[in-house]
Amino acid sequence: MLANASAVVTEYSVRSENTGVPIIREIMVATTMRSLFVAFFTLLASTFRTRAALQAEILALRHQLAVFQKNAPRRLRLHSCDRLLWVVLYRFWSGWRRCLQMVQPDTLLRWHRLAFAWCWTRKSHRLPGRPEVSANIRDLIRRMSQANPLWGAPRIHGELLKLGIAVAQSTGARYLSRSSKPPSQAWRTFLTNHLAQTASIDFFTVPTATFRVLFVFVVLSHERRRVLHFGVTEHPTQEWTMQQMREAFPWDQAPRYVLRDRDAIYGTDFAAMTRDMGMEEVLTTPRSPWQNPFAERLVGSIRRECLDHVIVWNERSLRRTLDSYLPTISGPVRI
């Protein structure tokens, strides 16, 4: 009897509620208000309903929400007001995470962070204070910047003051032309400026007709890729290599840097001699011939264009062959 009585009470209360607020529901369905205002009106209307009516409506809404979730598209189209509603609920309602079904909780947290950033961006936005710079002055600043790419804001500000144009330096800096090129010189220009101060050395081998192996030592200047000196020997030593360096750079003509590999023939005495001559050694990493590209390309050219087409008999034959070939590609060579 008690259950029936409660059922009768619940049914009666639902009926009374439905007869009490039909006008509000019809207005909400008929209008095209946004979901945010619909939610607020529903909240106000719920204050006049009984607890049993609210529980019944919650059950119906949750059932419909479950059906919509099964048939809804993968990505919902939400408006800003929808996001604002959940941001407000996140701020003032601790149980929002349990009832949020449309999106993931992390999405709501991201909305809140975006709303926070937007709010403080608007607050920190500076209101216009000083009068706007005229278009003629802006064009003049841009033309001066384009015609003189090395001029900065202080220099252009000084030139404007000479012309009687009173513009702050910070204001002029806003209208400088932004070049797509880097402000400094490119790497190609930087390396080209230092080619005259750099030379590279290297050894390569040449087999003879009698199955002996001759060693050729070349000194290449990076400026215009000119061969400064070469030597031929069958038994290279550190002392012989040091003598070749002295002959390659007489009369204080040594460059600032010398690039070489880590061959064992360049010992401590060789390093001390280059240091005394005012040169700084730049060593390549082990098994990295590509780090000495100019010397390696020279050796390849000598092999492909000269030595692959002749048979070398001895040191004298090789020296004569190289003496006739190298001037054709790099000018006079010291032997």
Domains observed in the chain: 2-122 (no CATH), 135-174 (no CATH), 195-330 (3.30.420.10)
CA–CA separation, 313 vs 110, rounded Å? Answer: 80
Tell me the pTM: 0.46
Identify the pLDDT of residue 69.
Answer: 67
CA–CA separation, 55 vs 61, rounded Å? Answer: 10
- The residues facing 202 across adjacent strands are 218
- Which of 200, 218, 202, 192 lies closest to 257 in space, CA to CA? 200
- The residues facing 302 across adjacent strands are none
Helix (H, G, I), strand (E, B) or coil at 217: strand
Identify the pLDDT of residue 313.
Answer: 93
Identify the pLDDT of residue 68.
Answer: 66
Identify the pLDDT of residue 202.
Answer: 96
Identify the pLDDT of residue 30.
Answer: 41
Query: Which residues, in sequence order, are CB contacts of 334 under 8 Å at separation 6+?
Result: 228, 229, 247, 248
User: Tokens for 251?
Assistant: 């009369």
User: Tokens for 268?
Assistant: 């401590």
CA–CA separation, 126 vs 121, rounded Å? Answer: 10
Q: What is the pLDDT along the chain (335 residues), one digit of tens a residue?
A: 334 443 444 444 444 444 444 444 444 434 434 565 666 777 777 777 777 777 777 776 676 666 666 666 666 666 777 777 767 777 777 766 666 666 666 776 777 788 778 877 877 766 666 667 888 988 998 888 888 888 888 898 899 999 888 888 888 888 887 766 656 677 777 778 888 899 999 999 999 999 999 999 999 999 888 999 999 999 999 999 999 999 999 887 889 999 999 999 999 999 999 999 999 999 999 999 999 999 999 999 999 999 999 999 999 999 999 999 998 776 665 54
- The residues facing 334 across adjacent strands are 229
What are the residue ranges of helices labelled H in the chain? 2-20, 22-30, 35-46, 51-71, 80-92, 96-99, 105-124, 135-147, 153-162, 169-174, 187-193, 238-248, 268-276, 293-305, 315-330
Side chain identity, residue 81: C
CA–CA separation, 328 vs 335, rounded Å? Answer: 15
Identify the pLDDT of residue 26.
Answer: 47
- Which of 112, 35, 32, 106 lies closest to 77 in space, CA to CA? 35
Identify the pLDDT of residue 7.
Answer: 40
